[in-house]
Chains A and B, each alone.
Chain A
Amino acid sequence: MTDAAESSPDLNLTRVPEVGSAPIGSADEIHLAHLWESAPGWRGWLSTVDHKEIGLRYLVTAFIFLLMGGIEALIMRLQLARPDQTLLTPEQYSQLFTMHGVTMIFLYSLPILSGFSNYLWPLMLGSRDMAFPRLNALSYWVFLFAGIFLYASFPLGEAPNAGWFNYVPFAGLEYNTGPNIDVYALGMVLLGISTTVGAINFVVTLFRMRAPGMSIDRVPILVWGTLTASVANIFAIPSVSLAFFLLWLDRQTGTHFFDVVNGGKPLLWQHLFWMFGHPWVYAVVLPAMGIVSDALPTFCRRPLVGYSAVALSTMATMLLGFGVWIHHMFAAGLPTLALSFFGAASMVISIPSAVAVFAWIATIWLGRPVFNTPFLFFAGFVLLFVIGGLSGVMTAAIPLDFQLNETYFIVAHLHYVLLGINVFPVIGGIYYWFPKFFGRMMNETLGKWSFWVMFIGFNVGFFPMHLAGLLGMPRRIYTYAPNMGWSTVNMVTSVGSFVFAAGILIFLVNILISLKRGVLATPNPWDAPTLEWAIPSPPPAYNFAVIPFVASRHPLWEDRLDEGAGRSSLEQGYLLMEGRETIGTTPLDAIPDIILKMPEDSYTPFFLGLFSALAFTGLLLHWGAFTVLMTVACSLSLIVWMWPRKALVQRVPDIKQDTGAVHG
């Protein structure tokens, strides 16, 4: 207060944040709840910017997409169960496998991880929200509308049909005249907006929103995973958005980026697509690996072995991930020397994965495992990770990939990677954080059943795909002849896929039952070490009644780890309750830096998302005037959003006297 000489009389830009405690039920706590809670009913539902609400919406929406993609897969497995089946027409099959890929890769695998990260980051980092709460809401709404956009043409039989990789010229106007590909191209550009703003939000949140004392080497591995994935997305998404935008221009305005007759280059598409595609593959597994690195130790009753090594390997994977895209194009006829570099790089990228695998095994070995459902999912994941990794090494051997490429071996590999490394940790993570989300425990008996049915079904379903690939079965064929030798493996795969689906069903039943009748959860039912378990289950709207001071990587295990790093302060901390506020800290050491005034709930993210989706719909249907109108509506939404407000001016805290306490 005393140093505020330079600020204008009515705008005091420095303030000493008050340190204190606000136990549940105290006047301060009630005031905080009043400040942070969204309005009841549909108004709150449309306008909320609460990261927990948005995170849950991400989880639920992405899971619904997983189920839709799964149903598509089951229909395809019926078609492929026996040779010469005629359940589906070839065109229906094309649309199904394309939408299956698009759904699982774009609408499920990253959004579900964004859901976890959105929900958990502020809780793990000891903050009251993400850095940009409204941007967070926008990210969700655009994701939802892009998903609906991509699916809207399905009932009309005009869904994308050129594979998720969408190679030109097959995806060009000459060979694909319907609206199918325009839906895909515009949907992907729209979805790219969601992913990009979401990624920016994560990066800024990590560097600015950590609780005082949570230096960069004290953040959970999930945070490292999502940070790495987000940085990668910021670099990778422009490539794919550009590719789809150029394709849309080719199709709608007659440009010649990919049009061979006029000097366009089909190989350009492959490069642009895989420059994005390969980093994306890592973006959809690294946060899931982070889930395991954070949650597995809880069930091993010890910290993760090799925290720094695992965090560094996460980033190393991503860096290398930008240099291996050619291994999707080994069969494209590129020069042998170029292939050699990318083949070698693809081998090298296995090394950081080895670091993580041995860290997990060592954690289990040195720990005392508690056989709860989440542990089963995480331990099962390690095994699937190894299988997916080893088959990946095989595809990195260039001459071998000349054979394996575009066969079911790749299908097997990518399902071990995406289901094994994404779905298993995700479901394990839901079992783990369900009590935090909803305040109730999930049923253990059903949980164990769901694991074993999923695990056995998954391996019965997907392992034989390796063999189908070695027996020469190409990908994306809608049927096969009985004399190809693929009948048995396909029947086994189909049976396994339905068993796997039954496991998912048990999991869903468990969710429904546990939501209603689950045992009420304490704040920390698993005796876990990280900050999200320091607050009630489910967490209050403001997350932390006081912003905690963090003194170690495992604030809730400090008394038992006794590493001599001081003690975190969870009950006493910054009160910050003059409106929605939280603390901003320095990027590396997390020294308090600024009092962040957080925005109120707002309808603008919803409307901006809606209007942009409608603008894209206008582009798709060639409604010129409508598109212009919606673009103007987008601009108006942005003006409302950005309108400067005095209440949101940030304060510099006078914290000199507090830094000692933080590192004490």
Chain B
Amino acid sequence: MNDSKSRFRHCVAFNYAIFLCVLAAAPASAALAETENEAAPLNYFLHSYGPASTPTMYLGWAFVALMVAIFTIIALLLAWAVLRKRTVEDPRLIGREDEGMPWIYIGTGVSTCILFALAIYSLVTLNVVAKPTHAPALTLTVTGYDWWWKVEYEDDDPAHRFVTANEIHIPVGLPVLVKLKSADVIHAFWVPMLAGKTQMIPGLTNQQWIEADTEGVYRGQCTQYCGVQHAHMGLEVVAQSDAEFRKWQDAQRKSAATASVTGIDAGKQLFLDRCAGCHTIRGTEAVGAHAPDLTHLKSRRLIAAGLLTNTPDHLVKWITHAQDLKPGTRMPSMVLTATEIASLSAFLSTLN
């Protein structure tokens, strides 16, 4: 009886050890995952590049360190409580009820103090990330659509306003105010390495600020379930030097220069016939408002809201097989002949 009990105690200890190894192995495997794939573009836990997210990252580290420590202490206490040796007694004996209250007093007391400190730390952090220290240098409105992002750059001068999609450029080192709207269902705007997420609720305008302190491309993703292609509703924020940003901004403000290019009339006509109901190309008769503005399509790094890189091949594949690549998307798979594809590609390739 006693022997089998001690054998069993070893068995429990052994299995418990396996369990703790599993927990320990998990972070290691995650770190491995990151090196394997070179990057986890939404890894906000280890990477932050702006004042709206860096205090939160530190908060996250503090919490994780503390939680791991608390867990370890409690797990060891529990293991000790289970496995500690007892003097052999009559198995029918029952322990007294009124013992053990110090466990509750001390455990709850310490927990309360820790929680109080954590609450203060998180509220202080909330205060820091809630608003920028100085006035935003730039205001833009991002509107969520099923399943892409419309981006409007505001300006006091109406002639300087412009619209683009799925790719936000910001000047580095300056706070940017992002007004968040939705054209259909609830989405959420999340560029984790720059800031936390905020819902985009139809009928309301939410606000969020982002600021990048390093040049680079930051991945964003919709994080509120919004329908079948919620998974493929990505965006990118490109943070660049002030000069680069101004150059980009000036280019985006211009209308498409399709008139000056020859040999694209067939493609242009095809676009006007088949695509202009939804898409806009400024400077042409295409003024559709249901889909991304394509005036400067070629300037973007990705197409289909972050699904594909913007190469001519991908573009053709997307136009002809949108429903295979992103089933349920509002973009139909266009049935086009080889000639039509060629002329449409030629036309689209001019949208610099």
Contacts and interface: CB of A to CB of B under 8 A. Distances in A.
Contacts of B9: 371
B119 A175 contact: no
A616 B223 CA distance: 34
A197 interface: no
B30 interface: yes
Nearest to A490: B33
Interface in B187-208: 188, 190, 192, 195-199, 201-204, 206-207
Contact of B75 (A267, A386, A478, A529): A386
A463 B81 CA distance: 24
A397 to B, nearest CB: 4
A355 B192 CA distance: 36
A394 to B, nearest CB: 5
B132 to A, nearest CB: 14
B137 interface: no
A626 interface: no
Interface string A291-312: 0000000001111111101000
A333 B206 contact: yes
Contacts of B301: none
Interface in B30-61: 30, 32-34, 36-45, 53, 55-56, 59-60
B224 interface: yes
A396 B126 CA distance: 12
A364 B82 contact: yes
B307 to A, nearest CB: 8
B111 interface: yes
Chain B: interface size category: 35 or more
B221 A398 contact: no
B247 interface: no
B225 interface: yes
B67 A393 contact: yes
A478 B78 CA distance: 39
Interface string B79-93: 011101010010111
B22 A459 contact: yes
A470 interface: yes
A348 interface: yes
B108 A355 contact: yes
Contacts of A509: none
Interface stretch (A17-25, A123-131, A335-343): A335-343
A393 B118 contact: yes
Given A89-B327, A399-B122, A472-B192, A485 B55 contact: no
A340 B230 contact: no
B100 interface: yes
A533 to B, nearest CB: 14
B312 interface: no
A400 B63 contact: yes
Contacts of B64: 394
B104 A305 contact: yes
Given A90-B228, A170-B185, A383-B75, A474 B99 contact: no
B109 to A, nearest CB: 9
Interface string B103-122: 11011100110011011011
Nearest to A556: B94
Interface stretch (A111-119, A150-158, A402-410, A656-664): A402-410
Interface in A579-600: none
B289 interface: no
A497 B307 CA distance: 29
Interface stretch (B11-19, B159-167, B341-349): B11-19
Interface string A598-622: 0000000000000000000000000
Interface in A363-408: 363-369, 371, 376, 379, 382-383, 386-387, 390-391, 393-394, 396-403, 405-407
Contacts of A379: 78, 82
A455 B22 CA distance: 11
B123 interface: yes
Interface string A350-362: 1100110111011
Interface in B1-30: 5, 8-9, 12, 15, 18-19, 22-23, 26-27, 29-30
Contacts of B222: 474
A271 to B, nearest CB: 12
A336 B81 contact: no
Given A366-B100, A405-B223, A477 B59 contact: no
B42 A473 contact: yes
A383 to B, nearest CB: 6
Contacts of B225: 162-163, 167, 170, 475-476
Contact of A390 (B29, B71, B93): B71
Nearest to A302: B95
A406 B104 contact: no
Contacts of B328: 90-91
B103 A362 contact: yes
- Which of A309, A400, A463, A473 has its CB near the most chain B CB atoms (within 10 A)? A400
B226 interface: yes
A557 B129 contact: no
A472 B59 contact: no
B23 A306 contact: no
Contact of A357 (B38, B74, B89, B186): B74
A4 B97 CA distance: 45
A343 B18 contact: no
A527 interface: yes
A492 interface: yes
Interface in A445-501: 452, 455-456, 459-460, 463-464, 466-467, 470-480, 482-489, 492
Interface of B: 5, 8-9, 12, 15, 18-19, 22-23, 26-27, 29-30, 32-34, 36-45, 53, 55-56, 59-60, 63-64, 67, 70-71, 74-75, 77-78, 80-82, 84, 86, 89, 91-97, 99-101, 103-104, 106-108, 111-112, 115-116, 118-119, 121-123, 125-127, 129-130, 146, 180, 184-186, 188, 190, 192, 195-199, 201-204, 206-207, 221-231, 327-328
Given A91-B328, A266-B201, A336-B127, 14 more contacts: A90-B228, A90-B327, A167-B225, A169-B185, A336-B130, A358-B103, A460-B22, A472-B40, A472-B41, A475-B225, A478-B231, A485-B41, A485-B43, A488-B33
Interface of A: 89-91, 94, 162-163, 167, 169-170, 175, 260, 264-267, 300-307, 309, 331-333, 336, 339-340, 343-344, 347-348, 350-351, 354-355, 357-359, 361-369, 371, 376, 379, 382-383, 386-387, 390-391, 393-394, 396-403, 405-407, 452, 455-456, 459-460, 463-464, 466-467, 470-480, 482-489, 492, 527, 529, 553-554, 557, 560-561, 563
9 contacts: A366-B100, A399-B129, A405-B197, A455-B19, A456-B19, A471-B42, A472-B42, A474-B190, A488-B36
The 4 closest A-B pairs by CB, nearest first: A402-B196, A472-B42, A485-B40, A302-B95
